[in-house]
Structure formats: C-alpha cells, structure tokens
C-alpha cells in the first residue's frame, strides 16, 4: 500500500558487500525524503534489524550468508507485515523472481540499475506499493503459468465486480480509468480494491494481480505492470 509521503521513507540495506552497501547508502542519503536507518551484512541480521527498526523499506539482496534473502524476506513479512521488502539482486531469472514474490517481497529490482533509476524506483514504490519492472514481470507471469492455477479454486472468493477490477488492474488501468470502465466513482473502486486485497490476503496491487492469477481468477495473458502515471488515482 502507498506510504505516508509526509515523513521520510526509512530504509534498511541488507547486502553482504560493504562497498555496495556504502555506495547505496550514499546515494539514498543524498535524497531529502529518504533516511537510511540501518545496514545488515547477512540474512539473520537483516531479520533482527527489520524487527527492531521497523523501516518502511528493506532493500534485500538474495545471496546472503547465514540466511538467504528469500528466507529473510519470508520471516520479515510474516513477523512485520508493515515492513516492505524490495529485492535488489543480480539474479534476474524466472525462478528467483517467483521465489521472491511468493516469499512476500513487494518488488524486485536489478543491481544493475543506475543510481538515479534506483531512487526513482523507490519513489514509485512508496507512492504505489509495487515495483516489478516489465521485463521481470514477464518472467514472473511465465513462472505462474508453468505452475498452473493451484487447482483452480472457486471464483466465489471474490465478487464478479472484484474479479473484473482485478482483471483491469492487471492490464495497467489506473483507479480513474477503472471508475470510468465500471461507471462508478474512484472511491467505489478503492472500496472494491480494499475488499479484494483483504480477501486475497495481500497489501499491494502487484500482489493482488499475482494472487488472482495464481487462483485462476484472471488470465495472465496481456497482464502488464502499470507505470507510475497509470497507477495514479
């Protein structure tokens, strides 16, 4: 879910490479709206500091000593659901992206991103609650298709309108565009989204679309990641 923009976004950096952590820290501390509140060199330390510091965002590497980033993410999201995790990894294959999202990661970014793009990605995430670049979302959806629909559970979990909202959401429509399509107010759309999120057990638009695809409620064909502009209200 979008975060409060009135306060600084607090960030915990979890990476076993000291130089990389210091570099990211310098970049982020150069932004007035971001505050790096801690660093972790392994997965166990990342979980402990996330519980103690309760940062808005954890930038999590996948390959960490003592406990890998996937398991650390799972523990953080289970014990501190209000703490968001963005994977920042050199791995961009389908399996790692799928594992990260299933572990509860709110987004997945490449370590190859230029500094300015990393900052912009965090800015997008704090306002929209999602961050999976298009090329990685394609791999995620391909992985979900290979897994199947987990037995195709009944669509009774969501109402017909909520399923329609999820389908449009997967196509990148903004709340305003959804309201126009369904001939209702933006407030009504938000109510449908909140209800669907609650039923699906998710807290972001990306998680909702992924879970809806997993449950066979909507098709992954034609699904895209909404850009910054399209996600706005």
pLDDT of residue 145: 52
Nearest Cα neighbor of 217 from 169, 136, 153, 121 is: 153
SS3 content of the chain, % helix, strand, coil (to 5): 50, 10, 35
Q: Hey, what are 120's tokens?
A: 């912009």
- 16 versus 89: the higher-pLDDT residue is 16
pTM: 0.61
Read off the pLDDT of residues 136-177 as tens digits, 9 standing for 90 and up: 555 555 555 555 544 434 444 688 888 888 888 877 777 888
Do 181 and 168 touch, CB atoms closer than 8 A? yes
What DSSP letter does each residue of 154-166 carry, written as one string? -GGGS-HHHHHHH
Report all structural domains of the chain as residue ranges with CATH numbers, in order of start: 9-142 (3.40.50.2300), 149-214 (1.10.10.10)
List 107's β-bridge partners, or say none.
86, 131
Rounded mean pLDDT, 202-212: 77
Which backbone phi and psi does 149 adopt, to 5 degrees? -105, 30
- Report strand pairing: 107-110 vs 34-40: unpaired
CA-based nearest residue to 9, from 32, 40, 39, 41: 32
Query: d(Cα 89, Cα 80) in Å, to the nearest integer?
Result: 22
Other beta carbons within 10 angstroms of residue 232's beta carbon come to 13
Q: Which of 30, 28, 57 lies closest to 128 in space, CA to CA?
A: 57
- Over the stretch 38-84, which tens digit does the pLDDT of each residue have? 999 999 999 999 999 999 999 999 999 999 999 999 999 889 988 98
What are the distances in angstroms from CA 216 to CA 72, 154, 158, 219?
28, 9, 12, 7
**How far lies 55's CA from each of 18, 21, 38, 91, 92, in Å?**
20, 16, 9, 24, 25
pLDDT per position as a tens digit, 91-118 = 766 677 778 877 888 778 888 888 888 8
């Amino acid at each position: 879910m979008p975060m409060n923009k009135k306060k600084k976004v607090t960030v915990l950096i979890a990476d076993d490479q000291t130089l990389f952590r210091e570099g990211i820290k310098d970049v982020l501390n150069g932004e007035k709206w971001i505050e790096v509140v801690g660093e972790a060199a392994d997965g166990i330390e990342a979980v402990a500091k996330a519980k103690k510091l309760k940062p808005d965002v954890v930038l999590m590497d996948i390959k960490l000593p003592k406990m890998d980033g996937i398991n650390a993410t799972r523990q953080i999201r289970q014990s501190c659901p209000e703490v968001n995790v963005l994977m920042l990894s050199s791995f961009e294959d389908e399996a790692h992206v799928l594992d990260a999202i299933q572990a509860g990661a709110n987004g997945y970014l490449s370590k190859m991103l230029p500094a300015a793009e990393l900052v912009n990605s965090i800015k997008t995430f704090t306002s929209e609650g999602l961050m999976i670049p298009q090329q990685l979302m394609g791999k995620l959806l391909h992985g979900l298709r290979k897994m199947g629909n987990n037995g195709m559970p009944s669509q009774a979990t969501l109402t017909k309108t909520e399923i329609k909202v999820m389908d449009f959401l997967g196509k990148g429509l903004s709340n305003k565009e959804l309201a126009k399509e369904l001939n209702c107010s933006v407030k009504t759309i938000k109510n449908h989204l909140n209800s669907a999120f609650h039923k699906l057990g998710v807290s972001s638009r990306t998680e909702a679309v992924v879970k809806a695809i997993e449950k066979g409620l909507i098709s992954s064909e034609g699904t895209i990641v909404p850009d910054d502009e399209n996600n706005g209200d």
